[in-house]
A and B are shown apart, each in its own frame.
Chain A
Amino acid sequence: MQDAQSPGELERLLTEHGRDLMRTAALLAGSRQDGEDLLQAALERLLRRGRRLDNPEGYLRRTLYNLAADGWRRQGAWRRKLVVIGASEPAREADVTAAVDLRDALIQILRMLPPQQRTVIVLRYWEQLSEAETATALGCSQGTVKSAASRGLRRMRELASPWLNATIER
């Protein structure tokens, strides 16, 4: 049992696991700034618990996943979506930056996915959780995870096709 509510313990938790949590939060939220806000929101939830936890890091992770899957900052996500939709397509002529562009594009496309699909993709392909572990973390069935991952990846592929083609042409 750890008293994650004390300032010192929170600092220690962030020193040990903060970078991993921050990276996950940024992916779930779609940007660094929103990732910071998301992680801060999860930390506040931890503080609000007001009691000792066996695994505060696990609690923080689950809170991040669930806040993200629940469409945390839905309106903000929609605004970002509009920005991404309006973003210019890749240059028709392939150049040396195409591969880099593709990776940037994939992150932008990840942001465009519905919250649940985005969360499942991050848990499966970043956190490397199995379908069963992802389902447990999100409190849904394995079938939901499988379907969200499949639809999310298919959508990402579709949206990334201009960049993918440009990379292949190169």
Chain B
Amino acid sequence: MNTGFEELVRDSMERFTEDLRVPADLAGKAHGAHQRRRRFAGTAVVALGTAAVTTAAVIAAAVPRTGGVTNAQTTAYVIKRVQNALAAENFVIQGQATSTITVSIHGRRVTSDNGPTMSWSYGDRSRFVEFTGNDCRHALSDGSCTHRGGSQLYLANGTALIGGTLTGAYVTYFDHKYSLYPVGQTGVKACSRTAQLGLGAPSVTMPNWPAFIKAMLGCGEATVTGHARIGGVEATVISGSIDVPLPKGYARTVRETRDRVRYTLYVDSTTYLPVRAYGSDETYGGAGGPTTSVSVTNVQWLPPTTANIAKALVTIPAGYTQVSSPAQQ
């Protein structure tokens, strides 16, 4: 506060609010509204836009609990609520994911589990950490593995504060190396092929979860399909499926022609914040045999405490060697 005008503004605020008191029944009103909302969420669940949508009137309507496609207005309403919830909340987003990949080798389908991952994102900050799974995590040139067994840190990718500047950082723990790169645009261009292909594996493409989910829902491919209970929370289920041709180079490599992505987002029916994401991605249409990856990400919304915000930053361990790019790791 260093100018007369700013002091005047502050003085006006003081005067405007000096005799304000909390209404005696405010806590009771909040509790009542909360209880009504809970009862509503447990029974009716999804509001459905009516023909009188121009008046912004919405009428509660039951949605089948198992499957069943509701109409486009319901979907638009739910998706808007999710987008608003993502825009309004100020939380550190924590995702915990497991995933598997199944490949075709000489006609046989072989499945291996990727290591479990954790990710955090807060504004422009993000950290993705992969732990070792049960299989060989990183094959060296002599055929040996860097890791076997689970729960060891394998890699971290995300943003780090280097000299006070937010910088992209990629750390590999097995060889004690790291590389830095400029932070690019964190937003996902909605409905681009990159975004569409990313839908099937959210556990590895979540530098910025709100933007990612927003893009995912904004493609117009998602539909409200029902309800489920996730960890005791009543959740609205939003599902989508996208089928796109593979990029030519990749198609030649895997000898397949198309990629089919399916995703399901479970959002808390009360807060509309995502609580679980499921994604699958399968190549098909050629002679190579399908490659299928499946991931499940459980999402938590952490209060933005200093400790939680710190989780969304990669730290470079002391003694690690810097290399010029992730390709050297």
Contact = CB atoms under 8 A, between A and B. Distances in A.
B17 A23 contact: yes
Contacts of B250: none
Given A14-B26, A14-B27, A19-B20, A44 B37 contact: yes
A126 interface: yes
Nearest to B122: A139
B90 interface: yes
Most buried by B among A7, A19, A66, A106: A106
B33 A40 contact: yes
Nearest to B18: A23
A27 B16 contact: yes
A156 B9 CA distance: 9
B121 to A, nearest CB: 11
Given A26-B20, A103-B12, A103-B16, A153 B34 contact: no
A67 interface: yes
B33 A22 contact: no
A67 B9 CA distance: 22
A53 interface: yes
A44 B33 contact: yes
Contacts of A22: 17, 20-22
A145 interface: no
Interface string A125-142: 110100000001111110
Given A40-B33, A43-B26, A139 B90 contact: yes
B6 to A, nearest CB: 6
Interface stretch (A31-39, A78-86, A89-97): A31-39
Interface of B: 1, 5-6, 8-13, 15-17, 20-23, 26-31, 33-34, 37, 84, 87-90, 122-124, 270-271, 303-305, 309
24 contacts: A14-B22, A35-B20, A40-B26, A43-B27, A44-B34, A46-B30, A47-B30, A48-B271, A55-B303, A58-B303, A65-B90, A70-B84, A70-B88, A102-B8, A103-B11, A103-B16, A104-B16, A110-B9, A110-B13, A125-B6, A125-B13, A153-B9, A156-B5, A157-B5
**6 closest residue pairs by CB, A with B:** A18-B22, A43-B30, A23-B17, A106-B12, A103-B12, A47-B34
Given A47-B30, A53-B303, A139-B123, 16 more contacts: A10-B31, A14-B22, A44-B30, A44-B33, A48-B34, A63-B90, A70-B84, A106-B8, A125-B1, A125-B6, A125-B13, A128-B1, A136-B309, A140-B123, A141-B124, A153-B6
